[in-house]
Amino acid sequence: MIIMKSNTINISIRDLTKTYQRSVGIQNITTDLKSGQLNLITGKNGSGKTTFIKCLMHHVRYQGKVTKRRYRIGYAPENYIMPDFMPVYDFLVSIGRIKHLYQEHLHLELDEYLNMFQIKHKLHKPIRTLSNGMKQKVNITQALLNNPKIIILDEPLVGLDFKSQKKLVKKIIELSKKKLVIITTHFPEKFNTSRKIIHEFEAGKLL
């Protein structure tokens, strides 16, 4: 008898609710997010997309249940507050170390992403000297380090030029074939793939 082992990466969300002091962020969200498909989270401003992501990352306290196995997670937040004085390289090395990615492998991975985003020449510049778009590229690069099984990118296209957006979309679609990729975006039409699943939020609820 052959037992087939499932390689699907799954996040199961049950009755997820997050309330702030004076408002409700999201309420009673129940869904499953799976690898092999591109999970796009869409909705108007303030509809609860980012709150949903923060709950998945355990960055905020919430009611309900989020079940996931302990996989490596790559996360790029929407508000990328990075230590301004740090050179890009030092920042990426620090984050790489936390993800157990050490010098030799780090260089290989960095090369790929820095070439893709064309920010190699900014590698030793302090983060404060970068433009908004460049900071977004660094933000996404740190999320993709050490081949995470789960990739969560909050508004990754914001601030990027058209060419970089195209490259990133292509990369995201490629990654979503084997990994669990969750993207929040206002432009789901830019992700041109038949494997995309759109989760639409409105006023804190999943439609």
Interface ranges with other proteins (CB under 8 A): 54, 57-61, 70, 73, 75, 77, 79, 81-86, 90, 93-95, 97-98, 100, 142
**Least distance in angstroms from the C-beta of 11 to other proteins:** 12
- Mention every residue, 6+ apart, whose C-beta is less than 8 A from residue 16: 26, 28, 29, 30, 52, 55, 62, 63, 64, 65, 66
Pure H helices in 9-144: 49-56, 88-98, 103-117, 132-144
Q: Which is nearer to other proteins, 99 or 190 (CB)?
A: 99
- Rg (C-alpha) for the chain, rounded Å, is 17
- Find the shortest distance in angstroms from Cβ 201 to other proteins: 19
Residue nearer to other proteins on the CB measure, 58 or 177 = 58
CB-wise, 98 or 207, nearer to other proteins?
Answer: 98
What CA–CA distance (Å, rounded) separates 127 from 131?
9
* Identity of the residue, 94 or 192, whose beta carbon is nearer to other proteins in the bound complex: 94
Q: How far is the CB of 135 from other proteins (least distance, A)?
A: 12
CB of 129: closest distance to other proteins in angstroms? 14
If the CB atoms of residues 75 and 191 are measured against other proteins, the closer one turns out to be: 75
Q: Return the closest-CA partner of residue 173 out of 43, 39, 78.
A: 39
**Closer residue to other proteins in complex, CB, 97/163:** 97
Q: Would you say 149 and 180 are in contact if contact means Cβ atoms under 8 Å apart?
A: yes
Least CB distance to other proteins at residue 207 (A): 26
d(Cα 15, Cα 206) in Å, to the nearest integer?
A: 11
Q: How far is the CB of 167 from other proteins (least distance, A)?
A: 22
What's the order of all strands across the beta sheet hosting 38-43?
A: 73-76, 150-154, 180-184, 38-43, 196-202, 205-206
